[in-house]
Structure 1
């Protein structure tokens, strides 16, 4: 097995409290699997995890390799497979296509939550969706890094990160996020999606009205197309809505979990 799925699976197993496997299936609260997107990392979920724990939920922030939709979904799928019980799968930004793919073939996934995330139809990519309506200023903030294998990684210029990605996050925290951001393979953003699991699973959406990465009109279009069970729009929130508004994000995830 590839080492990344192994580590994810181990983390999922260690996250199970003692005796969890002995509980009747209908008495086990869903485990929340959180998937970060491009230009973020697992710690972006810290405040959401704290709030979910206070509500009695186990939460795992899965490492998203950011190399490609299918391969990233396989890594997240390893964590899902290691969980004995229901799962609510949550994805931010590019993590949206990843959870859309990762849910397929995992019957323990009971609901999807998209946090400023893409909800792609088959054949759509993050790039095609982000340009469906005007409003994204991300392209002008990106810095390419050419890799030895001939591939290209993308970063957000740290000097532009705060305004572009996390305008409603305090300065010091946004600066740390800028310098701990994970690059995404340019090819991953262009990779077309496969089967749309949101068509068969209860789907929940939350995003901010001041998102400069994914235009709010795009996010509204996708939520409406998916016939989301519940859509929450946070006035003035940036793309980093899970950092700036963890209470609202955790509440929506709990809504999705309670409905299962």
Structure 2
């Protein structure tokens, strides 16, 4: 029986960002779940993902994009049916590291200057990417027309989540991991991706020339090849 592929989107996206990947997985006979990431905070969101994992029978391959990597790193720890982790343009933190720490570890991220803050009634702040720069910042290797739609449907993340330290023992220390990212990622510098993949002992690292932060949308087939490898 094939493992269930659990897909966890990141900030400024939503579950439909996995559509191309999902179509290929289903055609291959893999069961799949695209989790609706709450984007409220690392611990809260990781606990939500862990609860979702508890509802799935059989083996699981966890796939995280961007901030979703923070969650798979925490939710998989101590969950015996999670057999492998796939990081897709994603953060792979060690305990105590935040997304902001890892994005700023090497030069190259221009995300901060593109963000539009929205103050919430409880005093917290939601962050969106400004629609007029979304294509360039987030999805330069996809069409402007597609990126314009994603800019409208993007889901915000709390400002606090980006600065929240990863609370638990990193799952990549005990669970095999694979990495895929683009070398033109403007959210997480490519040097940060390389550092995280090497530190995690990545079984295979795929670096795609010209790839944006959302490289797995136009390169869905490359990601599914890596997922197949992780599933095996």
Q: 2:136 aligns with which of 163, 174, 178?
A: 163
Q: 1:143 aligns with which of 84, 105, 116?
A: 116
Structure 1 runs (4+) greater than 4 angstroms displaced: none
User: Could you tell me how far 1:105 is from its partner in structure 2?
Assistant: 3.0
TM-score (norm 2): 0.98
> Paired residue for 2:84?
111
TM-score (norm 1): 0.88
CA RMSD of aligned residues (A): 0.7
> Paired residue for 2:178?
204
Please, which runs of 5 or more residues in structure 2 have no aligned partner?
Answer: none
Residues 192-218 of structure 1 deviation map (CA, whole Å, 9 limit, x = unaligned): 012101000000000001100000000
1:1-260 aligned within 5 A: 28-193=1-166, 194-258=168-232
Structure number with the higher helix fraction is 1
User: Could you tell me how far 1:121 is from its partner in structure 2?
Assistant: 0.6
What is the rounded CA distance, in whole Å, between the counterparts of 1:137 and 1:106 in structure 2? 35
**Higher RCO (CA 8 Å, separation ≥ 6 residues):** 2
SS at match of 2:63: strand
Please, which runs of 5 or more residues in structure 1 have no aligned partner?
Answer: 1-27
> Paired residue for 1:3?
none
What is the rounded CA distance, in whole Å, between the counterparts of 2:36 and 2:78 in structure 1? 20
